A and B are shown apart, each in its own frame.
Chain A
Amino acid sequence: MKLLTPFLLILVTALFVWVSSDLPARGDLQAPASVHVSPDYTVQTEEAIGIPNLVSAILADFRSYDTLGETFVVFTAGIAVILVLGAGSSAAGAAREEDET
């Protein structure tokens, strides 16, 4: 099995390199990713939203539900860590330690 792993890795790497030759060139305006909706976003965002930063406009306005969800994910992660590791404030932890001793 240990001998098989490098061969598999080389095989997969060769496959990726071979496939990547089919990808469109960087900055190609005729690439599929550049001809569907992205010209609309690029041209109309500043007029529609009123801010010059395309990334912020998409993040906070067109995809604001997504960003709301991301913020809730970060918040939930913090709450989970507090509940699993901290169990409240450090004052509560000190009080609990005093109870135990």
Chain B
Amino acid sequence: MSNRYDSVILHFIVRILLIPFILIFAIYVLIHGEASPGGGFQAGAIFAAAALLGRLTLGQQQSSDRYPTALLVVVASIGLVIYAGTGVVSMFAGANYLDYDALPVLWFNDVASHIRSARAIGIFIIEIGVFLGVFSILTVLYDHLSERE
């Protein structure tokens, strides 16, 4: 499972065609989670699928250099901190925990192409946190379950 398959066709299809497409699709699902089916959990699962595809075909060693396991645990923790921290920020802004209305994020409308409410931006922020957590944990699970020979 951790061996590298030396096939030019496999490497071309996976590295040039499949993985970039899957990564872009995951980001698409994440960003459009407010307007279409999708969101943090789904985007994280799709992103993890790309990472696992790399691990299956390019070999554990080479792919693990690209997404190191130790780094992934940190990324998952950062995702959870983003989610929980959003709630703490709204508490400091004078509202309830995870009440996005009070978040000081409306400056984001100045740089974005269309106007969104503070709640929509807050939902987007926590979706990013969920995305980071789910993607990292799924990849870490695969790493640790497949390491055992």
Centre residue among A57, A72, A74, A85 by max chain B CB count within 10 A = A74
Interface on chain A toward B: helix, strand, loop, or mixed SS?
A: helix
Q: Known interface pairs A82-B73, A89-B70. Does A60 touch B148 (Cβ–Cβ under 8 Å)? A: no
A60: chain B residues at CB < 8 Å are 39-40, 123, 126-127
A50 B126 Cβ-Cβ under 8 A:
no
Docked CA distance A56–B29 (Å): 12
- Is A43 in contact with chain B by the CB < 8 A criterion? no
A59 B39 Cβ-Cβ under 8 A:
yes
Contact of A85 among B127, B137, B145 (CB under 8 A): B145
B100: chain A residues at CB < 8 Å are 61
B147 A75 Cβ-Cβ under 8 A:
no
Q: Which residue of A lies closest to B140 (CB)?
A: A78
A75: chain B residues at CB < 8 Å are 76-77, 80, 133, 137
Q: Which residues of B contact A (CB under 8 A)?
A: 33-41, 64, 69-70, 73, 76-77, 79-80, 83-84, 87, 97-98, 100, 116-117, 119-120, 122-123, 126-127, 129-130, 133-134, 136-137, 140-141, 143-145, 147-148
A51 B83 Cβ-Cβ under 8 A:
no
A61: chain B residues at CB < 8 Å are 100, 119, 122-123
Docked CA distance A12–B143 (Å): 42
B119 A50 Cβ-Cβ under 8 A:
yes
Centre residue among A52, A53, A60, A64 by max chain B CB count within 10 A = A60
B140 A50 Cβ-Cβ under 8 A:
no
Q: Provide a sorted-by-A list of 19 A–B residue pairs whose CB atoms are within 8 angstroms.
A: A50-B120, A52-B34, A53-B33, A53-B35, A60-B39, A60-B127, A65-B97, A67-B126, A70-B41, A71-B130, A77-B137, A78-B76, A78-B140, A78-B141, A81-B140, A85-B148, A86-B69, A86-B143, A90-B69
